[in-house]
Structure 1
Amino acid sequence: MWEKVGHLVQQPQGYKAFIPLPFPPQKFLTLAPNLERLHAEAMRLVGKLDGISQLLPDKDFFLLMFFRKEAASSSQIEGTQATMVDAIEAEMHPKVALEGDVNDIICYIRALNYGIKRFDTLPLSVRFLREIHDQLMQGARTSHYPYPGDIRYTQNWIGGTSPSNAKFVPPPPHEVSRALGDLEKFIHRKDDDFPPLI
């Protein structure tokens, strides 16, 4: 599967890192019939959700709670044990010292709110993502990255104790800017034929 979107390249340090192909590919993406059906169903459900949202007595409150749930769920991917209720209680009593896990969720909520406000003045871009990353990592306990808001300067990996025995090694730092640039160009392309949810 990896060969369709990139390839493993031997690095000078001895491990192999995944290098994505330039994006979008020369032969542009086409949807298989089953994906077209799934996309149509997803669009229908988004329309249904939009209709239901018109019936909510307080959309802002719904979004507020949704953001807290999303923050708690996303933080749990990093091993955080705090819940949405913990985050709500922490926001109700901001003067109380926060446990590390709860603080991580509060940082996530702060970054999410910042991104929503910033979206009014800055389009989705690498700069936008860097600003949100900066907000997310300011004060987050789980942050091991010394330069919030910057594109990484060191190699990371998933699984194992080093890139040599890792399950997956993402692109090395010098490849990340190119890949993010490709993504940004794709997001702002003029081709309106591509399905919006894809």
Structure 2
Amino acid sequence: MTRVTGAYAVIKTHDETVRAFVPAPLPPAAPVLDPAAYLARNRLAEVALARLTGMAGLVASSEWLIYSAVRQEALLTSQLEGTQATLTDVFDDEAGLAVTNADDVEEVTNYLQAFKFVREQLHAPTGLPISLRLLAEAHRILLAGVRGAHALPGSMRTSQNWIGGTRPGNAGFVPPPADRLAEVFGDWRLWRLLPNRHSAALWQSLH
């Protein structure tokens, strides 16, 4: 099934003309997503989750199962920003040992702290729901004391950024222009308030 997920806006930034991706409004409408097309994949995902749940019952704490996985995810995500930390560096830092690339490790640690914060908020009876405020607070934690601390942590950016490459022209991905962020996030916020007709997590993620 071919679906249009967005369009490109031609912008000029850092003396270069590039294409920034702007996602289509939510929910997707062309064509309408048929949940039946993903039932087989959803069943596989549910089986995998059931196996993981079974494994969790064999250990004293389910946190042990996700400890390394969460740190590996934090490491890989931080590498998108150019960090050079390794999993061993993260473990050494948590054990109180000296690391040579403290700044890179701090970025990974911030990711872990942001993940913990969001998880606690979503599980707490009076915690924040998935919302712009939750994203802003997580963003504030992510950028605390690291290379992006000057970039207004907890606020929407006011300049163009990019992912991968050394400049916008050779970037792997150029996010929406700063002047479109209010529109994009506003659309996402309104979509979050719509009644969800399907409970399957895989189907929801595709929206």
Q: TM-score range by the shorter chain?
A: 0.7 to 0.9
The structural deviation recorded for 1:42 is 0.9
| Deviations 1:11-33 (CA, angstroms, capped at 9, x unpaired) | 47754433222111345322473
User: In 1, distance between residues paired with 2:33 and 2:157?
Assistant: 29
What count of residue pairs does the alignment treat as equivalent? 196
SS in 2 for 1:140: coil
| Aligned residue number for residue 146 of structure 1 | 151
Unaligned runs of 5+ in 2: none
CA contact (8 A) 2:80 2:164 kept: no
SS in 2 for 1:4: coil
User: In 2, distance between residues paired with 1:96 and 1:6?
Assistant: 42
CA contact (8 A) 1:107 1:139 kept: no
Which of 45, 48, 58 is the aligned partner of 2:48?
Answer: 45
SS in 1 for 2:201: coil
CA contact (8 A) 2:90 2:109 kept: yes
Q: Which moved more, 1:4-13 or 1:38-47?
A: 4-13
CA contact (8 A) 1:87 1:105 kept: yes
CA contact (8 A) 2:9 2:20 kept: yes
| Aligned residue number for residue 7 of structure 2 | 7
Match runs of 1:1-198 below 5 Å: 4-11=4-11, 15-27=18-30, 28-31=32-35, 33=37, 35-93=38-96, 99-119=102-122, 120=124, 121-141=127-147, 143=148, 146-158=151-163, 163=168, 168-193=173-198, 195-197=200-202, 198=205
| Deviations 1:13-66 (CA, angstroms, capped at 9, x unpaired) | 754433222111345322473x33112211221122122212222223334443
CA contact (8 A) 2:151 2:157 kept: no
The structural deviation recorded for 1:131 is 0.6
CA contact (8 A) 2:6 2:24 kept: yes
The structural deviation recorded for 1:137 is 0.5
Structure-2 change in CA distance of 1:94 and 1:195 (3 Å): same
| Deviations 1:89-131 (CA, angstroms, capped at 9, x unpaired) | 2122289896222222222222222222222210011111111
| Deviations 1:170-191 (CA, angstroms, capped at 9, x unpaired) | 2111212222232233334312
Q: CA RMSD in A?
A: 3.1
